[in-house]
Amino acid sequence: MKPISRRSFIQATGVGVAGTTALPPLQLFPSQSRPDESAPERAPLTSVELKVNGKSHRLQIEDRWTLVEVLRDHLGLMGTKVGCDRGECGACTILMNGKPIYSCSYLAVWAEGAEITTVEGLAVGEQLDPLQQAFIEHDGPQCGFCTSGQLMAARSLLQRHPNPNREQVRQAMAGVLCRCSNYNRYVESVLAAAKGAPDHG
- Taking domain 44-121, whether its CATH number is 3.10.20.30 is answered by yes
Question: Which one-letter DSSP state was computed for residue 101?
Answer: E
- Fold classification of 122-196 is DNA polymerase; domain 1 (1.10.150)
Please give the Cα distance from 100 to 173 (Å, whole number).
10
Domain ranges of the chain: 44-121, 122-196
Whether the predicted pLDDT of 197 surpasses 70: no
Per-residue pLDDT tens over the stretch 43-57: 899 999 999 999 999
Most confident residue range from 2-6, 86-90, 119-123: 119-123
Report residue 61 CA to chain centroid gap. 17
Cβ neighbourhood burial of 85 (10 Å; 0-12, 13-18, 19+): middle
State what percent of residues in the chain have pLDDT above 90. 74
Predicted TM-score (pTM) of this structure: 0.76
Whether the predicted pLDDT of 41 surpasses 90: no
